[in-house]
Amino acid sequence: MFRDGLRQIISAQSDLRLIHEAGDGEEALRVARALKPTVAILDLEMPKLSGLDVAAAIQREVLPVRVIMLTMYQEEDMFNEALDLGVLGYVLKDSAAEDILEGIRMVAAGRHYLSPSISGFLVNRKSRGEALRKAKPGLDDLTPAERRILRLIAQSKTSKEIADELGLCTRTVENHRFNIGTKLNLHGVHSLVKFAFDHKSEL
């Protein structure tokens, strides 16, 4: 019923075009791969693959698809996980139609959109990020490449997986990891991985 209503709302807009809809996460991912829509609107809870699973695959495969996540629940952990996966829009299902349409247009333009009632989650996220930078001032010394690699480490990716994704050799990634550890004063085999995983929402 919700999907039917959403379809009608989108179809009534002259500047939006609905190109496909899917009944489960596996189908949604197949459509994203095949049609590469500008925006994919995913339910957080879908059969077969969740919205987060599909968003993770879109990010991993570097598909040119911007994601809006729909949910019934105001859960900050889920919100942070979605943003960590590159989701641009996070919208509560009980939002007014105008809010959902505004979210689609903003995300299509490459901007973030959150339901107004959960905007506090973003404030909390930014506050934790500022506190982390004060505790680890070396974060400001990281190069853009090092920051990207640190975020990929936070996704539990190995040096080889990072190298494959960024088109680098594994030795180059290992050198970056060493430099990141030095700047952040993190020493030992697992300390960098633990730091990245513990703070992935603030990086």
32-66 residue pLDDT tens: 999 999 999 999 889 999 999 999 999 989 899 99
Name the pTM for this structure.
Answer: 0.64
> Is the pLDDT reported for residue 154 higher than 70?
yes
CATH superfamily, with its number, for domain 2-122: Response regulator (3.40.50.2300)
pLDDT score recorded for residue 40: 96
pLDDT tens per residue across span 61-104:
989 999 999 988 777 778 888 888 889 999 888 777 888 899 99
Phi/psi at 178 (5° precision): -65, -45
CATH number of 130-198: 1.10.10.10
On whether the CB atoms of residues 103 and 113 are closer than 8 A, the answer is yes
* 3-state DSSP assignment of residue 21: coil
- Helix 2-11 with 97-108: angle, nearest 10 deg: 60
**Which range scores top for mean pLDDT: 117-121, 135-139, 167-171?**
167-171
In the chain, list all ranges with CATH 1.10.10.10: 130-198
| Mean pLDDT for the stretch of residues 10-22 | 93
| Mean pLDDT for the stretch of residues 149-170 | 87
Minimum mean pLDDT among 66-75, 124-133, 167-176: which range?
124-133
On whether the CB atoms of residues 67 and 86 are closer than 8 A, the answer is yes
